[in-house]
Structure 1
Amino acid sequence: MSLRRKLALSLCLAFGAGAVSMAAVAQRQEKVDAKRTLVRAGHVLDVKTGKIADAQTIVVVGDRIQSIAPSASVAAEPGDAVVDLGGMTVMPGLIDVHTHLTMNPDFDPYKELTSTSAKEAINGVVNARTTLMAGFTTVRNVGAYGFVDVDLRDAINAGQVPGPHMQVSGPLLGITGGHCDENLLPIQYHLVGDGVADGIAQVQHKVRENIKYGADLIKICATGGVLSKGDDPQASQFTLEEMQAIVADAHRLGRKVAAHAHGAQGILWATEAGVDSIEHGSYINDEAIAEMKKRGTYLVPTLYLEDWMVEKGNLPALYHQKMLDVSAVAKKNIKHAIEAGVKIALGTDAAVYPHGLNAHELDVYVNQMGMSPLAALQTATVNAADLMGWTTKTGSLEPGKWADIIGVEKNPLEDVRVLQDVKFVMKGGVVYKGEGSVAK
């Protein structure tokens, strides 16, 4: 080795050792400087068991829960911040595994065609804050153009804007002319969706491309959809072989796969291909139910949007009939799937209706689908965390997990609608709503 190379190597090693040493000092100093926040809760709900513990204190250090104990045994120390939630029921922040934070419920085709990545980034900043303030401290964003959701996630993580923890998919993968393509303009414009791919080689490329540009998961369109031109929600789109290739690459590269699927054949094929969740599931049948139970595949119903559309929706004619057709059968079929024991995680499709109304989905699960209040809450906590692969981070209030805490005025097991009016929100140890909030 030349003298120059030896000197360069020595300098690199010395700098590396110094960097490690400085990092260790910084970490130790951070622990020394870490302040405790004592969340004095009147009642703490264990979403795993449904049990309520009265007069509890949750000790938060940094972005994590350090301990939970009876308040009488946790004395405040000098420098502690104390949050008084003595009149509230406290539980983990809610999780929505099917959002589109960069989109809004305006389906005028002209508005769709004139949208830009910049406009969607602005939407995302506004809608992320709205979602967080509604008590949803974690979301999956399953579809955004131009990887805008990647930038939104990164801005939230950097503390630039308030919003929930996010897993993001980037562009939706779909076939030419399918639900995830751009079908509003004639051929001379050659407009193609960001995630369009046909054939095994192309879908593998798209999976790898999405991961390259920051996707945490892969979202595919296994069937047609409602809010798209010229496709049938019951018709399969990707072939079984294409979906198998997508799942194989995604799983090998450490990403889960969510499949938009209304039609029974597409639900079955996507499940057989190994996707981790079926989104919507409107025409689910016994064959697909059996396959999902066999494989442990989650179903993510998006049901409140149907109620909102009936009451307040104003869809263009090219979408209206498809919405009526899907709404006529979806709840009956999904209730059958729930009763059959298919695993459920809460998803809303927020953007099809206004952001911030996410907790209305729980009302549908309890008062229309027949779920117990505890089972419904578990879809938005422990189940959703499991689907995301984040069980060690969120989904319940436990030492070591993120300090994602919400407070409501009464026990949601007695009236799940109380979650439509969350009074206190802490995410990652920072209070965003309620006493001591820092983000207005």
Structure 2
Amino acid sequence: MLKSLAAVLAASVLATPALADTVVVTAKRMLDVDSGRMLDDPLVVITDGRIASVVTRNGGRPNIPANARRIDLGEATILPGLIDMHVHLTSNPKYGGYSRYQFTDGFWLAQGVGNAERTLRAGFTTVRNVGSDRYDDVALKQAVDEGWITGPRIVPAAHALGATGGHCDETFLPPSYDRKSPAMGDSPDELRKRVREQRKYGAEAIKVCATGGVFSRNTAPGVQQLREDELRAVAEEAHFWKLKTAAHAHGADGIKAAIRAGIDTIEHVSFIDAEGIALAKRQGTWLGFDVYNTDYTLSEGAKNGVLPENIAKERAVGTLQRENFRAAAKAGAPMIYSTDAGIYPHGDNARQFAVMVRFGLSPIDAIRSATTNAAQALGRTADVGSIQVGRYGDLVAVAGDPLADVTLLERPVAVIKGGERVR
């Protein structure tokens, strides 16, 4: 029996491949972050959002479809899209202390839309959001992925886990408000359940608070708040579900407990000691020092409503944290780029590069902390962190050599995400 004309046409349409969207990016130079070398005359072909080929001077030229779009960045230098491993897109430093309680709950997600766009335009094409209320970071990720808003690739952690009354609990309101964080746990089994809840509702990473913090009340940054067996339960449960983990940890004991427990990245790392640095090196645990934001908090915090006790804690933490960063850098400890954006204005993420260089990292190692190292820590080396075939077509361009002047990264001349120019 002859097939109907409609069936034949339908089969023909299904058999015809859709035309690929191809973008060709050219520039004067490209920083190969893996080797640390600067390469001349790069040509990067991006097909359907992924890098299809990368060639440089004398490397020949690939076959390029006639309908390919072209982005010529002229005299600029390109490098991989940057990765910030510690942001809070729904936080805003303008509203510190009790001033944030003047707004309705949805305000934070609404203003987070602008924060996401500012972050992307600053050259950060991927971020890990380590803690938000109401699964707002999951919502932002979904809105970006569906094309409703502009923003980076977001790895959400949803609610941060912690101990009742600890840094990641609600510590500003009296008992009559009965305000608690929904992700607190006071035993290994309770914390395992909290991991499963966060994953259920969209978390792609798990954050846990191992010590007190600067911006909570009634907590001391250096004091451990979860026992090692509790931290191990978080790490084991998250890894069982194929999720990476991050620990907020200022104090030396809490840092070492989190490393021994198997947490993947340690955030803040303020009071780390020589034993902790050696332990991190031995176990390959990534350290994420947020060494820029102290400047902002001490200069702007009071006028933004940050309480005197919190400013005093930041003053006590900041100087020592930077000296311990210097020690960790000198020792060659594994480093990632973690800024705690939201404690300072979003979009200023790249200002931390200069501080990292000032306190001991070479420019290429500072850049690697936000590219190759961050991709490894995320478990995303197939997707981000380098300009290689198969990875997303995420690029940032600067006007000059960032190895000679790392502050150029604060002023990108172009940002490309998945082959689409956003700046």
Per the normalisation by structure 1, the TM-score is: 0.90
Determine the C-alpha separation between the residues in 1 that align with 2:197 and 2:157: 11
Cα deviation digits, residues 314-356 of structure 1 (max 9, x gap): 2321311111110131111121112112100001000000001
Matches within 5 A, 1:183-332: 183-314=171-302, 315-332=306-323
Question: Could you say which residue in structure 2 is the equivalent of 1:46?
Answer: 32
Determine the C-alpha separation between the residues in 2 that align with 1:121 and 1:209: 21
Cα deviation digits, residues 50-71 of structure 1 (max 9, x gap): 2122112111111011111247
Matched AA of 1:344: M
Aligned residue among 372, 381, 399 for 1:409: 399
TM-aligned CA deviation for residue 24 of structure 1: 12
Matches within 5 A, 1:312-391: 312-314=300-302, 315-367=306-358, 369-391=359-381
Determine the C-alpha separation between the residues in 1 that align with 2:154 and 2:140: 9
| Structure 1 residues 41 and 264: CA distance shift in structure 2, 3 A | same
Determine the C-alpha separation between the residues in 1 that align with 2:17 and 2:61: 28
Matched AA of 1:233: P
Determine the C-alpha separation between the residues in 1 that align with 2:56 and 2:279: 45
Cα deviation digits, residues 133-155 of structure 1 (max 9, x gap): 00000000000001010011111
Whether the aligned pair in 2 keeps the contact of 1:55 and 1:86 (CA below 8 Å) is no
* Structure 2 stretches lacking a partner, 5+ long: 1-6
TM-aligned CA deviation for residue 194 of structure 1: 2.3
Provide the secondary structure at the position in 2 that maps to 1:205: helix
Determine the C-alpha separation between the residues in 2 that align with 1:293 and 1:24: 58
Determine the C-alpha separation between the residues in 2 that align with 1:395 and 1:318: 39
Cα deviation digits, residues 294-319 of structure 1 (max 9, x gap): 11000001010012223333232131
* Structure 1 stretches lacking a partner, 5+ long: 1-17, 434-440
Q: How many residues of Structure 1 are paired with residues of Structure 2 in the alignment?
A: 410
Provide the secondary structure at the position in 2 that maps to 1:194: coil
| Structure 1 residues 236 and 156: CA distance shift in structure 2, 3 A | same
TM-aligned CA deviation for residue 28 of structure 1: 5.8
Determine the C-alpha separation between the residues in 1 that align with 2:168 and 2:103: 16
Question: Could you say which residue in structure 1 is the equivalent of 2:413?
Answer: 423
Q: Does 1:139 align with 2:127?
A: yes
Determine the C-alpha separation between the residues in 2 that align with 1:398 and 1:108: 42
TM-aligned CA deviation for residue 79 of structure 1: 1.1
Question: Could you say which residue in structure 2 is the equivalent of 1:60?
Answer: 46
Whether the aligned pair in 1 keeps the contact of 2:211 and 2:249 (CA below 8 Å) is yes
Report the more deviating stretch, 308-317 or 412-421.
Answer: 308-317
Matched AA of 1:340: A
Whether the aligned pair in 1 keeps the contact of 2:210 and 2:258 (CA below 8 Å) is yes
Whether the aligned pair in 2 keeps the contact of 1:57 and 1:74 (CA below 8 Å) is no
TM-aligned CA deviation for residue 35 of structure 1: 2.8
TM-aligned CA deviation for residue 40 of structure 1: 1.4
Provide the secondary structure at the position in 2 that maps to 1:60: strand
Determine the C-alpha separation between the residues in 2 that align with 1:69 and 1:383: 23
Question: Could you say which residue in structure 1 is the equivalent of 2:3?
Answer: none
Question: Could you say which residue in structure 2 is the equivalent of 1:438?
Answer: none
Provide the secondary structure at the position in 2 that maps to 1:422: coil
Determine the C-alpha separation between the residues in 2 that align with 1:37 and 1:306: 41
Matched AA of 1:280: H
Provide the secondary structure at the position in 2 that maps to 1:403: coil
| Structure 1 residues 270 and 28: CA distance shift in structure 2, 3 A | farther
Cα deviation digits, residues 116-171 of structure 1 (max 9, x gap): 44112112211010000000000000000010100111111111111111111000
| Structure 1 residues 67 and 269: CA distance shift in structure 2, 3 A | same
Provide the secondary structure at the position in 2 that maps to 1:425: strand
| Structure 1 residues 364 and 26: CA distance shift in structure 2, 3 A | farther
Determine the C-alpha separation between the residues in 1 that align with 2:420 and 2:170: 40
Determine the C-alpha separation between the residues in 2 that align with 1:249 and 1:114: 37
Determine the C-alpha separation between the residues in 1 that align with 2:188 and 2:102: 32
Provide the secondary structure at the position in 2 that maps to 1:362: helix
Determine the C-alpha separation between the residues in 2 that align with 1:36 and 1:108: 45
Whether the aligned pair in 2 keeps the contact of 1:117 and 1:145 (CA below 8 Å) is no
Provide the secondary structure at the position in 2 that maps to 1:323: helix
Whether the aligned pair in 2 keeps the contact of 1:137 and 1:164 (CA below 8 Å) is yes
Provide the secondary structure at the position in 2 that maps to 1:309: helix
| Structure 1 residues 201 and 73: CA distance shift in structure 2, 3 A | closer
Whether the aligned pair in 2 keeps the contact of 1:301 and 1:347 (CA below 8 Å) is yes
Q: Does 1:155 align with 2:155?
A: no
